[in-house]
Amino acid sequence: MKYIDEYRNRELVNNLSRKIRKEVTRNWTIMEICGGQTHSIMKYGLMQLLPPEITLIHGPGCPVCVTPVEMIDRAIALGELPEVILTSFGDMLRVPGSHTDLLSVKALGGDIRMVYSPLDVLHIAAENPGKQVVFFGVGFETTAPAVAMAIKEARKRNLDNFSVLVSHVLVPPAIEALLSSVDSRIDGFLAAGHVCTVMGTHEYIPIAEKYRVPIVVTGFEPVDILLGIYRTLQMLEQHRYGVENAYARSVKAGGNRAAQKILGEVFEPTDRNWRGIGTIPISGFRLADGYRKFDAVLRFTLQYMESEESGSCIAGEILTGQKKPSDCTSFGSSCTPEKPLGAPMVSSEGACAAYYRYSGAAIPNQKKLTP
Amino acid sequence: MTRSGRYSLQCPIPKSEHEHILLAHGGGGKLTNQLIEKMFYAGLGNEFLMQGHDGASLPAIKGKLAFSTDSFVVNPIFFPGGDIGDLAVNGTVNDLVCCGAKPLYISLAFILEEGFLLEELWKVVQSIGDAALTAGVKIVTGDTKVVEKGKGDRIYINTTGIGQVLPGVNISPDRCSEGDVVIINGTIGDHGISIVTTREGMALDSPVESDTMPLNGMMQEVFERQPDIHVLRDPTRGGLSSALNEICRSSETGITLYENTLPVNDGVRGACELMGFDPLYIANEGKMLVILPEEHAGEVLKIMRSHDAGRESLIIGRVTATHPGILHMETTIGTTRIIDMISGEQLPRIC
C-alpha cells in the first residue's frame, strides 16, 4: 500500500538501525511525545533495533490518559441524565472515573454512543430534537479542529440541543512542564508529527532554545521513528539543539492555516489539569466568547463530586516518563486492559496498553528506569 | 420452482395479508402456520422439515457425531458478500467442519421483532435455503418467536447442526505439536471490515465483501485424502489472534506467525489503517486455520488450492516449543513481538 509499505521497509529500517549504532557514543534518553509513536515502537519491536545506549521513554501524548478524572466523572454524570445522549471517541468510554466508566453507564441504560467524528454528533442532535446531545471532546491540537468545526456548524444551524464537554489540551506547554521539572533527564524529544501537521513547528523553537534540547518532528511508521531517533541522536552527539523536521511529507513549518484559524475562532487558551501531572498554565482550550452557549459545563447543573484516583496507579510517573509501565507493580497483575486501574492501560495510545498488548506481562529487551 | 423444488432467488414474496411481522406470527396460531407453510416450507422444504412434527426424526448416523450451535445478531443484516441468513448456515457448517465432521442437518430458530418487514424475512429465508443447498445440508426443524417492537433488533437467528465425524479424523487442540505448520485458506479480516464499513456508512473505493462461505467441500476432500490433521479452527470473532491464542493456551505450545506471509486485501488494509484496527483481530467467516505435520503440508495445500474456497491457501506460521502458550509474530522489519488475545469488544454484533 502506497505511503505505508515504503515506511515499513526492512532494508531501510536496518540501514537506520546500523547508522544509529554507528553514531552513538554515550547514553542518551529520548522521549517520544505521542502515544501513537509509543504504540508503533512496541508494535514493531523497535527497541530491539536500538543500541543499549539509547533509552526511549514515553511521553504524555495520550489524550485519553491525560484527561483528568473529574472531567470523566462529569461525563459520567451527564451520561446518566435521562435527557442526555452522550457521545465520544471509543477509548473514552472505557476509561475509569472515580467509581465507574461510561460503558458501565451504557450497560445500565444510559444513552452513550461512540462516534468517529464530532461532525456525526450534529446528525444525532438533528435527529433527536427532544434530547440534549453532548460531545465529550478530548484530544490535542489534532482532534480539536474537527470539534471546532462541529461547534461552528452547530451555531450556524442553531442546533440548541448540542453541546461539548471541552477537555482539549496542547502539546508545547506539556513539553515545557516536563523540561522545567527538576528531575527531568530527557536529552531530546521526538515531537508528534500529527500535531505539527496542524500547528506547524514554530511553537517548539523557543522551547528548544530555552532548554537547549533537540526536538525532532517525527512520524509514526517504523522508518519515520528510527529516522527521528537518528536525527535527534546526530544533534545530541554534535552538541546541537533546535527544531528539525523528520516528517516533511506531512509537516510544513507553518502547519495547516485553515485549522489554526478555526481553532483561534472557536477556542481560547486556558489552564488545564492533566491527569497524573497536575495543572499546567495555558495548556488547553475552552470555548471562546460567542461559542460559550455550547459549553456543556455551563448548560447543565451538575452536583459537586469528590473525584478520586486509584491509589496504586502510577499514571503520573508513566506520563512524565519517570517510570516505564514495566516498573509498575500492578502492571499485568492487578492492572490489565480488562480491569484497568488507570487510563494508560485503557487507551489505544496509552503506554501501559502498548506494553501489555505487544510484550505481555513479561517485557523483553528493555531496561528498567528504576532499580 | 427450481432444481430442489424450492423457490428461486428471484421468487417474489409469497402472498400474505400483512407486510410486517406481528406478535401473532409467533403465537402458534394461524399466522404462525401461514409463515411456516408459505415461507419456510416454500423456501427451505425437504423431506424432514415437511414431516411437520415438533422436531425431526432423522436416520441413524454411523460413527461419532459432531454437534454445534451458534446465534447470529449481526448488524446490518444485509452486507456486501452476504446476509444474516447465509452467515447463519455457513457459521454452523464451518463449526461442524472444525470438529472433523461432514455437516448433515441444521435446525433454525428465529427471534423476530414486531414490525420486521416480511419482504426482508423472505430474502433472508431464500438466502438460508440457497446456503444450505450450496453446503449440502438440510434444514430439518425450526422455531419462530416474535418480541414486541423495540425489544429486539429486527431479526436474530440461532442455528444448531449435526454432522458425522469422518473416519480416521481426530481433531483436537492437544494434538498441536512442535514442527507443525499453520495454513490459512486466504485473506484475513474481510468479514469484519465488510460489516463495520457498511454499518458506519464508509464509502470505500471498492467495498470489501464478507468472506462468508461454507468450507465443508474443501475440508471433506482434505479429511478423505489426508486425515492426519491435528487442529482446525475457524477464526471468527476475535480474528486470527484469538483463534491461535486459544490453541497456544490449550495445547501449551507456542506458535510463530510470519507477518510477511499474512494475506490481507488492500481494501481491508486501508480500512484498518484508517480506523486503527489490526487485521489480526478482525472476524472472518470463510477462513479455516489448519494445523498439521509439516510433511503433509504440500499435499494438503494442493487439495485446498484446488477448491474455490482455498485458491489462496498458504503457510503463515509454525508451532514451536520455545514459547509455550504464547503467540509470537516475526514482523516485516525482522523484529518479534507477541500477539495477545483481544481485550474488550472491538466490533460488536459482527456475526
State the CATH number of the domain containing residue B272. 3.90.650.10
Q: Report the phi/psi class of residue A139: left, alpha or beta, with left for phi > 0 and alpha for psi in -120 to 50.
A: left
Which CATH architecture best describes the domain A1-298+308-361?
A: 3-Layer(aba) Sandwich (3.40)
Quick check: is B5 in a domain? no
The 3-state DSSP class for residue A42 equals helix
Phi, psi values for residue B103, rounded to 5°:
-65, 135
CA B349 to chain centre: 14
- Grid cell digits, residue A361: 506481562
pTM, 2 dp: 0.88
CB contact under 8 A, B337 and A338: no
Chain A contact set for B276 (CB, 8 A): 348
Given the C-alpha cell 531501510, which residue does it identify? Answer: A12
User: Mean pLDDT of residues grouped by 10 in chain A (371 residues)?
Assistant: 86 97 97 95 95 94 90 95 94 87 94 92 96 96 96 97 97 94 89 97 97 97 98 98 97 97 97 91 96 96 75 86 90 87 85 88 44 34
Identity of the residue in B275, B276, B340 whose CB atom sits nearest the CB atom of A360: B340
Q: Range of B75's domain?
A: 23-165
Amino acid sitting at position A39: H
Do B188 and B330 lie in one domain? The reply is: yes
- Touching B: A residues 227-256, CB under 8 Å: none
Is B123 inside a domain boundary? yes
| Residue ranges per structural domain of chain A | 1-298+308-361
Helix axes A144-156 and A118-127, enclosed angle (nearest 10): 30
Q: What is the pLDDT, as a whole number, of residue A167? A: 96
CB contact under 8 A, A359 and B200: no
Cβ contact, residue pair B337, A13, below 8 Å: no
C-alpha cell at B153: 433488533
- Of B270, B334, B343, which is closest to A338 when you measure between CB atoms? B343
Same domain, B180 and B97: no
CB contact under 8 A, B340 and A357: yes
Dmax (CA) of chain B: 66
Q: By the CB < 8 Å criterion, does A357 face chain B?
A: yes
Residue of B155, B166, B136, B207 whose CA lies nearest to B63:
B166
**pLDDT number for residue B2:** 39
Taking each helix axis from N to C terminus, what angle separates B294-305 and B216-225, rounded to the nearest 10 degrees?
A: 140
Spans in chain B with pLDDT lower than 50: 1-7
Going by the DSSP 8-state scheme, the letter that residue A2 receives in this structure is T
Residues whose CB is less than 8 angstroms from the CB of residue A140 and which lie 6 or more positions away in sequence, other chains included:
A61, A63, A168, A169, A170, A171, A192, A195
Question: Of the candidates B200, B333, B343, which has its C-beta nearest A8's C-beta?
Answer: B333
> Could you tell me if B179 and B299 lie in one domain?
yes
**B334 with A222: Cβ contact below 8 A:** no
Tell me, what CATH number does B159's domain have? 3.30.1330.10
> B129 and B238: one domain?
no
The answer to whether residues B218 and B100 belong to one domain is no
The residue among B165, B199, B230 that closes a domain is B165
**Contact between B340 and A94 using a beta-carbon 8 Å cutoff:** no
A174: closest CA of chain B, how far (Å): 25
pLDDT tens-digit series, residues B80-125 = 999 999 999 999 999 999 999 999 999 999 999 999 999 999 999 9
B158 inside domain: yes
Which of A13, A46, A360 is the closest to B338 by Cβ? Answer: A360
The DSSP H or E segment spanning A328 is: none
Q: How many domains does chain B have?
A: 2
Looking at the structure, do residues B141 and B248 belong to the same domain, yes or no? no
Please count the other Cβ atoms lying within 10 Å of the Cβ belonging to residue B303: 18
Which member of B266, B273, B331 has the closest CB to residue A45?
Answer: B331
Q: d(Cα B182, Cα B254) in Å, to the nearest integer?
A: 12
- Closest C-alpha to A340, from A348, A329, A352, A328: A352
Residue B250 falls inside a structural domain: yes
